[in-house]
Amino acid sequence: PIYLDHHATTPLDPRVQDAMLPFFNALFGNAGSAEHRYGWRAQEAVEDARARVAALVGARSAEIVFTSGATEANNIALMGSGDHAKRHLITTGIEHASVAACAAERERRGGPITILPVDRDGRIDPAQVATAIRPDTGLISIALANHEIGAIQPLDDIGNLARRHGILFHVDATQAAGHIPVSLPALQADFLSLSAHKLHGPTGVGALVVTRQARRHLRPILFGGDQERGFRPGTLPVPLIVGFGAAAEIAREAMPEESLHLAALRGRLLDRLAVLPGLRVHGGMRFRLPGNLNVGWPGLVARDLIDLLRDHVALSSGSACGSATLHPSPVLRAIGLTAEEALGGLRFGLGRFTTEAEVERAATAILRAAPLLRR
Ligand code: PMP
């Protein structure tokens, strides 16, 4: 099937695979072994990758803490920060589960939270962040780009605002990094979450960027070793980290051209789908990840279409499935869709290797199937 689900994960870039392979074999050393060449070579590769990941987001190498992915990075940022005096958390209603569930857990442990609404485009109002700040606010956590509707948040003023109030600022940049410019200095964030498998790197590795100023406000959530300044103990997965570094460097170089290519393909997909009357676009088009589209037709249940087209197109519905029941996406509900409308959300994620011909074929298949399923 044609793969149009790049927000879930992206295929490994062959150049990334090439960079990784020697570290599964000849260069198998432990980056923590300081007494022999095997260790030195692994450590050198890790530090090289660290610099490449840092460069993607305008950070310093020393600020990168490698993790198993963005879920873990988000957990460290949300569960490891904030003392007892300043524990109020400000976040949004459209965060990824790994932030939303941490927020819920903080609340369960007695920390108040404020969940900011978003508008129909899926964007927060920065003025509402300012209004939500209380004397006990310790952390603001907002994703730069949304994983379902691709909405890019206006975060420019929030880092500055947080700093003035002595509040830590965490940005989940998992869907943004490698696809749109991400600058830690511009964001003035304290923590930034990243994941390699969203930018054609390997699954199972990510990073939490921890700025030098924020370091003393963070406590580890895992214990057992002094790797990664103690913030993430455990033997480093050298091949994965090397892959992350290679993927970050490729993404940084490819981004200007790739984002234009993706936006053009996305425009073409939208034009083709709009041929079938009643098409609704979920979220705004102006501030949106270039490879993202989320649409629906009245009376069409996304899961029905996805099931029908399973041999032809791989895409995603905005809904999370329990064993038997479908749950409408909280993101689509938050931008004002009814539960029924939210169950109709079709999420498209185009990627580096998506071709025009694939978009054409996918659109044709969808246009053929959708009318058969509308109720
Ligand atoms: N945050 C966002 C915005 C995401 O889209 C994802 C992945 N779907 C994650 C965090 C979790 O990333 P990982 O798969 O690396 O744990």
Contact (Cβ atoms closer than 8 angstroms) between residue 241 and residue 45:
yes
Number of H-type helices and E-type strands within the chain: 12, 15
* Mean pLDDT within 222-240: 96
pLDDT, residue 374, reads 80
| Residue ranges with strand state E in 107-227 | 113-116, 137-143, 168-172, 191-195, 206-210
pLDDT, residue 298, reads 96
C-beta of 201 in contact with ligand 1 (< 6 A)? no
Does 241 lie in the same domain as 197? Answer: yes
* Mean pLDDT within 358-375: 94
Q: Specify the DSSP element, H or E, that contains 220.
A: none
For residue 163, the Cα-to-chain-centroid distance in whole angstroms is 24
SS3 state at 307: helix
Distance in angstroms (rounded) separating the CA atoms of residues 255 and 252? 6
Q: How far is CA 354 from CA 92, 119, 244, in A?
A: 31, 30, 21
Residue 313 Cα to ligand 1 middle (Å): 22
Instruction: With cut-offs at 50, 70 and 90, classify the pLDDT of residue 318.
Output: low
SS3 state at 141: strand
Amino acid in the structure at residue 241: I
Does 301 lie in the same domain as 191? Answer: no
* Mean pLDDT within 229-234: 96
List b or e across 140-173, with b for residues whose CB sees 16 or more CB atoms inside 10 angstroms. Answer: bbbbbbbbbbbbbbebeebbebbeeeebbbbbbb
* Mean pLDDT within 204-223: 96
Does 24 lie in the same domain as 148? Answer: yes
From 249, 275, 306, give the residue that closes a domain: 249
Question: Does the pLDDT of residue 180 top 70, yes or no?
Answer: yes
Does 312 lie in the same domain as 354? Answer: yes
pLDDT, residue 326, reads 77
Which residue(s) pair with 314 in the sheet?
3
Instruction: Estimate the crossing angle of helix 238-273 against helix 37-56, to 10 degrees.
Output: 30
pLDDT, residue 73, reads 98
Q: Which two tokens stand for residue 221?
A: 């959530």
C-beta of 70 in contact with ligand 1 (< 6 A)? yes
SS3 state at 169: strand
According to DSSP H, which parts of 109-237 are helical?
A: 126-132, 158-164, 184-187
For the question of residue 102 being annotated catalytic, the response is: no
Residue 96 Cα to ligand 1 middle (Å): 7
Q: How many domains does the chain have?
A: 2
Q: The domain spanning residue 45 has which CATH number?
A: 3.40.640.10
pLDDT, residue 277, reads 96
Does 240 lie in the same domain as 197? Answer: yes
Contact (Cβ atoms closer than 8 angstroms) between residue 228 and residue 53:
no
Does 302 lie in the same domain as 194? Answer: no
Does 204 lie in the same domain as 290? Answer: no
From 191, 225, 249, give the residue that closes a domain: 249
Q: Specify the DSSP element, H or E, that contains 154.
A: none
Q: Give the domain range for residue 264.
A: 2-8+255-373
Does 174 lie in the same domain as 40? Answer: yes
- The residue from 62, 260, 321, 367 that is catalytic is 321
SS3 state at 342: helix
- pLDDT tens, position by position, 104-124: 999 999 999 999 999 999 999
Does 144 lie in the same domain as 62? Answer: yes
Does 221 lie in the same domain as 73? Answer: yes
Question: Does the pLDDT of residue 324 top 80, yes or no?
Answer: no
From 226, 249, 272, give the residue that closes a domain: 249
Question: Does the pLDDT of residue 343 top 90, yes or no?
Answer: yes
pLDDT, residue 240, reads 98
* % of the chain with per-residue pLDDT over 90: 95
* Mean pLDDT within 318-346: 85
Question: Does the pLDDT of residue 48 top 60, yes or no?
Answer: yes
Instruction: With cut-offs at 50, 70 and 90, classify the pLDDT of residue 86.
Output: confident
Question: Does the pLDDT of residue 225 top 70, yes or no?
Answer: yes
Q: The domain spanning residue 322 has which CATH number?
A: 3.90.1150.10
* % of the chain with per-residue pLDDT over 70: 97
Distance in angstroms (rounded) separating the CA atoms of residues 339 and 337? 6
Distance in angstroms (rounded) separating the CA atoms of residues 84 and 68? 28
User: Given ligand 1 and candidates 71, 99, 179, 180, which is best to mutate, with the most ligand atoms within 8 Å of its CB?
Assistant: 71
Minimum-distance ligand 1 atom for the alpha carbon of 206? 15
Q: What is the mean pLDDT of the chain?
A: 96
Does 297 lie in the same domain as 187? Answer: no
Does 356 lie in the same domain as 262? Answer: yes
Question: Does the pLDDT of residue 82 top 90, yes or no?
Answer: no
pLDDT, residue 321, reads 56
Question: Does the pLDDT of residue 319 top 70, yes or no?
Answer: no
pLDDT, residue 34, reads 93
